[in-house]
Structure 1
Amino acid sequence: MINKSYLKSFKNYLKLERAFSGNSIDAYLNDINKLFQYFESVNKSPHLKDITEADLKLFISWINELGMLPSTQARVISGLKSFFGFLLMEEIISEDPSKMLESPRLAKKLPDVLNIHEIEDLMAAIDASKPDGMRNKAILEVLYGCGLRVSELLNLRISNVFYDNGYIKVIGKGNKQRIVPIGMSALKFLKIYLEESRVHLDIKKGFEDYIFLNQSGSQLSRISVFNLVKTLASKCGITKSISPHTFRHSFATHLIEGGADLRAVQEMLGHSSITTTEIYTHLDRDYLRGIITDFHPRR
């Protein structure tokens, strides 16, 4: 018979050693209880040490037949792996039957992107006569022109802009540095902001080299950039779910639609794996499929 008393020890392990939240712990325990429910439904009651990989695969098939979503199945498998890993660590079992289980492939959600007309509308909606107008124009130009994350934009330094060569040095995730080309339009508005707007700020000590500052002369916040994008989208009547990151998605999508090499886009985005960049090829395929539908004589 399955000894459920180990669940209490497993719960303490998740709480104290793994520092899981209460909700995560409850989800893991519920998933393990589903395994017990499965064994009851098939009139089996094996000892924990006797549960095999075949048993777990039959269990996965069972929850699949119940209509459980692939994302939920993946979480259940993660729970099983944690539970049997714990039992192995505590020497309650001698072999981990879950180690070869594979999670179902989850479809990657394609991000919303802006078309070029929507981007132009957002740019045009900025009132350049306001004190922060040229700064906001430069923000959107750099987000879209260089495909930066919002954190990379906010940490961009004056000393990392190389005007003559048309490049910027970006500090990305994990403090990794990369060199990204900056287009003429983005460079133009960046120079206007730096030379005509930013020079009038009373810049606080320690922020002299940061490009994008608030009206108090300190580093601009993430929420300010989010609010800017949301406000402009509302002003332009754009109903897509967009954020500063949407400009990064649009940057990558438009490059690939234009025929850019995937490896080059990967390098510019700072993706450590090409598979992360490949999500944009799905968008590109939809674009190409539309071209066939609209223009091929035997569509």
Structure 2
Amino acid sequence: MKWTHTLKDFKHFLKIERGLSENTIVNYSHDIEKLIRFVEENNSNHTPLSIDEATVQQFIYEIAKVLNARSQTRIISGLKSFFTYLVFEDYRKDNPMEMIEAPKIGRKLPDTLALQDIEKLIAAIDLSTAEGHRNKAIIETLYGCGLRVSELVNLKLSDLFFDEGFIRVTGKGDKQRFVPIGSITQKYINMYIKESRPFVKEVPEFSDTVFLNRRGKQLTRVMIFTIIKRLAEKTGLKKKISPHTFRHSFATHLLENGADLRAIQLMLGHESITTTEIYMHVDRKHLAEIMQRYHPRT
């Protein structure tokens, strides 16, 4: 059984059986491809069915020389899923990852921005161009709705229900949710759609996509990262930020202002409340103030 054929079947399993997003499947595939390259570079004849624990251990030892603990953990997780799939499908009787443990990593707290920093970034956008109005709407949407970058670039005109005060978002695993959208965010999206978007060359395939590039095509994730990086440089912001920083800021600011954690979970599209609970660790001072204000024994 060849690696390429097995990897193709595994990707199909992740998409159809487990309903994972395209980005997650790509990440899993890259992890397995690293193992394949290691096997080939070491002139090994191992196939997915014959590779043993010692070879996998050697591969992990090699990646540990160049990758941090978090990256190692992600790769080990991907490999465990791959070999668990092979056992599940009766291709293998044993799992070479069974005794391999991932390195212990601490819980990484999300980076956030103060409201003043977000306003400074938005104010730095050049509104003399069509791209400027688009970029302002993009930042307002990332922060105003707490979207993932993939959710932002895939947002459709048909997903906007402004009269009802919601947008429909397609998240991980193609799961859909409705997220409230405030009047300010609506205002800047409407301005972009009515005043700037009509001047973009129409490409039928992307006629329903909200945010387009100059050629009328859907923006890439990389382009969103670039827009934010340039804004950070323009304002002299020292923090390393990304589209996810606005998502984290959205959740943190809601929590700081008294929002219910369950409501934040639903808006972010987290499968488990445990994922959302990381925001409880961001501002301990705020939690202490909540305790003082609301607990009957204080």
Using structure 2 for the length normalisation, give the TM-score: 0.68
Cα distance in 1 for residues equivalent to 2:57 and 2:161: 56
Equivalent positions of 1:24-103 (< 5 A) are: 29=54, 32=57
Whichever residue aligns with residue 272 of structure 1, its letter is E
Q: How far does residue 133 in structure 1 lie from its aligned partner after superposition?
A: 1.1
Distance verdict in 2 for CA 1:213–1:73, change over 3 Å: closer
Contact 2:149 2:243 in 1 (8 A): yes
In structure 2, what is the Cα distance between the partners aligned to 1:20 and 1:31? 13
The reply to whether residue 21 of structure 1 matches residue 34 of structure 2 is yes
Gaps of 5+ in 2: 8-31, 43-52, 59-67, 292-298
Q: CA deviation at 1:106?
A: 3.1
Aligned to 1:282: 281
1:114–1:247 Cα contact (<8 Å) kept: yes
Aligned AA (2:139): L
Distance in 1 separating the partners of 2:134 and 2:197 = 8
Is the contact made by 1:123 and 1:137 (CA closer than 8 Å) also made in structure 2? yes
- 1:7 paired residue number: none
Percent sequence identity over aligned pairs:
50
User: Shift of residue 226 of structure 1?
Assistant: 0.8
Residue 17 (structure 1) shift: 6.2
Give CA-to-partner distance per residue, 1:48-93, whole Å, 9 cap, x none. Answer: xxxxxxxxxxxxxxxxxxxxx9869979x98xx89xx99xx977x9
Q: Give 1:130 shift.
A: 1.3
2:253 and 2:98 map into 1 onto residues whose CA distance is 41
User: 1:42: which partner in 2?
Assistant: none
Give the direction of change, closer, same or farther, for the CA distance of 1:290–1:236 in structure 2 (3 Å limit): farther
Q: Which moved more, 1:156-165 or 1:17-26?
A: 17-26
The 5 A counterparts of 1:131-170 are: 131-170=130-169
CA distance in 2, matches of 1:230, 1:255: 25
Matching of residues 246-257 of structure 1 within 5 Å: 246-257=245-256
Relative distance call for 1:279 and 1:218 in structure 2 (3 A) is same
**C-alpha displacement of 1:21:** 2.2
Query: Structure 2 vs 1, CA of residues 107 and 167 (structure 1 numbering), >3 Å: closer, same or farther?
Result: same
Give the number of equivalent residue pairs: 242
Partner of 2:172: 173
**Per the alignment, in what secondary structure is the counterpart of residue 206 of structure 1?**
helix
Q: Partner of 1:114 in structure 2?
A: 113
Distance across 1 between alignment mates of 2:206 and 2:72: 48
User: Which consecutive segments of 4 or more residues in structure 1 shift more than 6 A?
Assistant: 12-18, 23-26, 69-75, 98-104
CA positional deviation for 1:285: 2.1
Q: For the residues of structure 2 that align with 1:151 and 1:206, how far apart are their CA atoms?
A: 18
Given that 2:151 and 2:169 are in contact with CA atoms closer than 8 Å, whether structure 1 keeps it comes out as yes
1:186-225 pair list within 5 angstroms: 186-225=185-224
Which structure has the bigger radius of gyration? 1
| Superposed displacement of residue 185, structure 1 | 0.8
2:57–2:100 contact (8 Å) kept in structure 1 = no
How far does residue 288 in structure 1 lie from its aligned partner after superposition?
Answer: 4.0
Alignment partners' CA distance in 2, 1:24 and 1:258: 50
SS of 2:177 mapped into structure 1? strand
Cross-structure match for 2:183:
184
Contact in 2 for aligned 1:256/1:284 (Cα 8 Å): no
The answer to whether the 8 A contact 2:130-2:197 is kept is no
SS of 1:114's equivalent in the other structure is coil
Give the equivalent residue in structure 1 for 2:18.
Answer: none
Cα RMSD after superposing both structures = 3.9
Q: Which runs of 5+ in 1 are unaligned?
A: 1-11, 34-68, 293-299
The TM-score normalised by the length of structure 1 is 0.67
Shift, 1:114, TM fit: 0.6
